[in-house]
């Protein structure tokens, strides 16, 4: 069967499964909508958590970042993995026992303040919308290639799919849909990885491929790297020959450390992951579910470094010094250049013949000028913003770069570059969509819950005498669905106008989550003296500082030379977290302690036994 027909078949079957699950698991109550009724099996919840956590950034963009940045890209791998362990071991069981399934609900009750709850709602909205922008861009990228539409149309199609099963099914529909999406995602990632490992190295285990030797010789444009060379050594040789820094050579270790820390702390404060620990029946099940999720995550995350290395080798092997016209027309023996033409059509890959020899030259310089972004003061660097204006050569005497490759395409394009069977390529299309859609749905539900449950139910429509919401269940469910629709529309806009490549946008979200939530949550569990004044001051300090720093340096053209302590915007969440922690502790010690019942509550939630809620509902 032809590739395009297989893609339509695989994607169509997966979408039919997701929609069927959404219809089967339609939410009939607010508990179904918010926490899937609290009755999900720990193994199923572990799969759903893994699918929710392993977003488009993990499936689509992470290997691409490592492929191009080499060892520097490992910050994303270490930060996200370490952050999940931190969340599972240090926070999840206590939050589950506390019994509040949203971050604003926890903050509002633990810090006995509607003002604190409102500040947390604002933080959740900022973090979730930043995160979902990356997911929607990932949806657009996958659709642009595999359904032969432009990126923007792809985003709109993704909005429609997410709308159906998140608005209709709520967390119940999303949870069981994510179980199916995890299965699709992991097979779609591992099967191509096994093929590539056997093709590039001498092992069928992709997790070990990065440590093995190559099975072919290839010309990097300067020398022929012989068969039997260790993969990492071959990569170091090839990229340095082309003018890049060595693949294994570390770059700015300070920024790597700050980014890794921000990602770890941000993972532990992510609202859409925290809510997962309320979809199981008991505290024990929450712990078991966290363990299973770690196992399911590890299957992919131990493979990513090898996939990144395979991608870079295959790219250099297939494009360097290749005659463009013969390549894209499939006239060169052993090379299938159709993939190049297809991705080029989507605006995520581009070539300009700077020296007029008709061959593709790959090097470290920018080959293109980007279209102006925002106020016109910054040049674009991302995919569809590429134009065909050649940049004058800046590396005289070296290879003049003529190639633009959007790093977000590397995982998706790699099976095509390697000329793998059509069914493998079609499978990875379905997996890429599953990755982006699963996290987007979870994030959109968090936004809807923050607005309908925390803002509408617990602040705006709250009875001042009883402290209870005046909304009945039917009305609150209506507001939840309306909020989800509005959130989907805003998310679609952000996907069409993304502030960066997928993993970079997600890194911003993690930095914001770290600075806004991590200290307040951790202090709320382990510090009885922490009070509402400290929480409010800390959240506002961390959020405003981190968001302002990102806005100034990413969107307002701030000079890199003025980075605070040399820290890039992706890692500034670490400083925001430290500021949050200091301000929260200082303010809490300068103001009255929390009521005795709150202090007693903090003591109770740290007791590891029991399955009931620590808070009366």
Q: Which CATH number does 3-210+247-310+422-605 carry? A: 1.20.1730.10
Confidence of residue 371 (pLDDT cuts 50, 70, 90): very low
CA proximity to 62, closest of 134, 129, 111, 117: 134
Distance CA 232, CA 308 (A): 11
pLDDT of residue 170: 63
pLDDT of residue 123: 85
**For residue 471, pLDDT beyond 60:** yes
Dig out the tokens for 150 from the structure.
């432009």
Give the global pTM: 0.80
Confidence of residue 357 (pLDDT cuts 50, 70, 90): confident
**For residue 521, pLDDT beyond 70:** yes
pLDDT of residue 212: 93
Confidence of residue 616 (pLDDT cuts 50, 70, 90): very low
pLDDT of residue 378: 40
Share of the chain above pLDDT 90, in %: 21
Highest mean pLDDT: which range of 5-14, 159-168, 478-487: 5-14
Distance CA 346, CA 150 (A): 6
pLDDT of residue 111: 93
129-133, 535-539, 568-572 — which is least confidently predicted? Answer: 129-133
More confident position, 573 or 410: 573
Please state, as a whole number, how many other Cβ atoms lie within 10 Å of the Cβ of residue 562.
9
pLDDT of residue 573: 93
pLDDT of residue 500: 57
Q: What are phi and psi of 186, to 5 degrees?
A: -70, -40
Q: What is the mean pLDDT of residues 289-312?
A: 90
pLDDT of residue 202: 85
**For residue 385, pLDDT beyond 50:** no
Dig out the tokens for 542 from the structure.
């961390």
Query: Mean of the per-residue pLDDT values for the chain?
Result: 80
Half-sphere exposure at residue 431, Cβ-oriented, CA atoms within 13 angstroms:
27
209-218, 242-251, 269-278, 322-331 — which is least confidently predicted? Answer: 269-278
Longest dimension (CA), the chain: 80
19-28, 98-107, 127-136, 294-303 — which is least confidently predicted? Answer: 19-28
Exposed / middle / buried, residue 425 (Cβ in 10 Å: 0-12, 13-18, 19+): buried
Q: What are phi and psi of 386, to 5 degrees?
A: -70, 140
More confident position, 502 or 63: 63
69-73, 280-284, 593-597 — which is least confidently predicted? Answer: 280-284
Q: Which residue has the tokens 């968090």?
A: 446
Please state, as a whole number, how many other Cβ atoms lie within 10 Å of the Cβ of residue 433.
32
Confidence of residue 433 (pLDDT cuts 50, 70, 90): confident
Domain definitions of the chain by residue range: 3-210+247-310+422-605
Half-sphere exposure at residue 439, Cβ-oriented, CA atoms within 13 angstroms:
33
**For residue 201, pLDDT beyond 90:** yes
Confidence of residue 467 (pLDDT cuts 50, 70, 90): low
pLDDT of residue 236: 93
Residues 206-212: contacts with CB within 8 Å, 24+ apart? 206/303, 206/306, 206/307, 206/310, 207/302, 207/303, 207/306, 208/306, 209/306, 209/309, 209/310, 210/305, 210/306, 210/309
CA proximity to 208, closest of 216, 217, 200: 200
CA proximity to 95, closest of 269, 297, 262: 269
Q: Is 593 helix (H, G, I), strand (E, B) or coil?
A: coil
- pLDDT digit string, tens, across residues 70-100: 888 888 888 888 888 888 777 777 877 777 6
Cβ–Cβ < 8 Å for 369, 389: yes
CA proximity to 222, closest of 242, 202, 205: 242
- pLDDT digit string, tens, across residues 13-49: 888 887 787 777 665 566 556 555 557 788 888 888 8
pLDDT of residue 36: 55
Distance CA 87, CA 563 (A): 29
Please state, as a whole number, how many other Cβ atoms lie within 10 Å of the Cβ of residue 137.
34
- pLDDT digit string, tens, across residues 524-559: 989 999 999 999 999 999 999 999 998 888 778 788
Q: Is 389 helix (H, G, I), strand (E, B) or coil?
A: strand
Sequence-distant (6+) residues with CB within 8 A of 548 are none
pLDDT of residue 302: 92
Q: Which residue has the tokens 């959007």?
A: 406
Q: What are phi and psi of 496, to 5 degrees?
A: -75, -30
Distance CA 278, CA 325 (A): 56
Share of the chain above pLDDT 70, in %: 85
Burial 390-405 (b: 16+ CB within 10 A, else e): eeebeeeeebbbbbbb
**For residue 143, pLDDT beyond 90:** no
Dig out the tokens for 345 from the structure.
């059509």
Q: What is the mean pLDDT of residues 451-466?
A: 74
More confident position, 54 or 219: 219
């Amino acid at each position: 069967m032809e590739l395009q027909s297989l893609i339509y078949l695989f994607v169509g079957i997966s979408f039919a499964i997701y929609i069927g699950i959404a219809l089967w698991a339609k939410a009939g109550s607010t508990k179904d909508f918010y926490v899937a009724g609290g009755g999900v099996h720990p193994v199923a919840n572990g799969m759903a958590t893994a699918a929710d956590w392993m977003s488009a950034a993990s499936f689509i963009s992470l290997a691409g970042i490592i492929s191009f940045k080499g060892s520097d890209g490992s910050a994303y791998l270490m930060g996200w993995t370490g952050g999940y362990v931190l969340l599972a071991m240090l926070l999840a069981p206590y939050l589950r026992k506390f019994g509040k399934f949203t971050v604003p609900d926890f903050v509002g009750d633990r810090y006995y303040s509607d003002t604190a709850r409102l500040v947390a709602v604002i933080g959740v909205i900022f973090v979730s919308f930043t995160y979902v922008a990356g997911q929607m861009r990932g949806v657009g990228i996958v659709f642009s290639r595999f359904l032969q539409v432009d990126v923007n149309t792809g985003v709109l199609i993704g909005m429609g799919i997410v709308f159906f099963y998140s608005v209709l099914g709520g967390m119940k529909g999303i949870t069981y849909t994510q179980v199916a999406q995890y299965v699709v995602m992991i097979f779609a990632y591992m099967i191509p990885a096994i093929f590539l490992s056997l093709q590039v190295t001498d092992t069928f285990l992709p997790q070990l491929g990065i440590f093995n030797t190559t099975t072919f010789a290839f010309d990097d444009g300067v020398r022929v790297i012989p068969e039997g060379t260790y993969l990492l050594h071959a990569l170091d040789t090839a990229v340095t020959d082309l003018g890049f820094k060595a693949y294994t050579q570390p770059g700015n270790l300070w920024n790597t450390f700050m980014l890794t820390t921000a990602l770890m702390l941000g993972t532990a404060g992510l609202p859409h992951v925290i809510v997962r620990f309320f979809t199981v029946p008991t505290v024990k099940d929450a712990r078991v579910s966290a363990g299973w999720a770690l196992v399911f995550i590890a299957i992919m995350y131990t493979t990513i470094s090898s996939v990144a290395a395979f991608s870079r080798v295959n790219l250099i092997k297939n494009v360097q010094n290749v005659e463009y016209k013969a390549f894209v027309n499939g006239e060169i023996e052993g090379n299938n250049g159709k993939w190049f033409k297809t991705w080029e059509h989507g605006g995520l890959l581009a070539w300009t013949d700077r020296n007029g020899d008709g061959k593709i030259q790959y090097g470290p310089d920018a080959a293109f000028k980007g279209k102006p972004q925002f106020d016109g003061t910054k040049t674009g660097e991302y995919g569809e913003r590429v134009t065909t204006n050649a940049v004058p050569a800046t590396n005289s005497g070296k290879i003049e770069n003529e190639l633009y490759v959007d790093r977000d395409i590397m995982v998706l394009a790699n099976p095509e570059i390697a000329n793998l069977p059509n069914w493998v390529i079609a499978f990875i299309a379905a997996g890429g969509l599953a990755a982006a859609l699963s996290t987007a749905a979870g994030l959109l539900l968090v936004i809807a819950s923050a607005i309908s449950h925390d803002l509408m139910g617990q602040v705006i429509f709250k009875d001042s005498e009883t402290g209870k919401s005046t909304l009945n269940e039917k009305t609150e469910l209506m507001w939840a669905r309306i909020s989800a629709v509005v959130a989907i529309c805003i998310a679609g806009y952000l996907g069409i106008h993304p502030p960066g490549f997928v993993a970079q946008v997600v890194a911003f979200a993690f930095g914001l989550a770290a600075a806004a939530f991590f200290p307040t949550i951790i202090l709320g569990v382990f510090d009885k003296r922490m009070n509402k004044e400290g929480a409010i001051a800390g959240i506002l300090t961390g959020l405003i500082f981190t968001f302002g720093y990102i806005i100034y340096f990413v969107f307002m053209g701030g000079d890199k030379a003025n980075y605070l302590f040399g820290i890039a915007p992706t890692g500034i969440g670490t400083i925001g977290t430290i500021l949050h922690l200091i301000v929260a502790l200082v303010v809490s010690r300068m103001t009255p302690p929390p009521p005795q019942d709150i202090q007693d509550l903090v003591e109770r939630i740290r007791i590891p036994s029991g399955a009931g809620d620590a808070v009366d509902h």
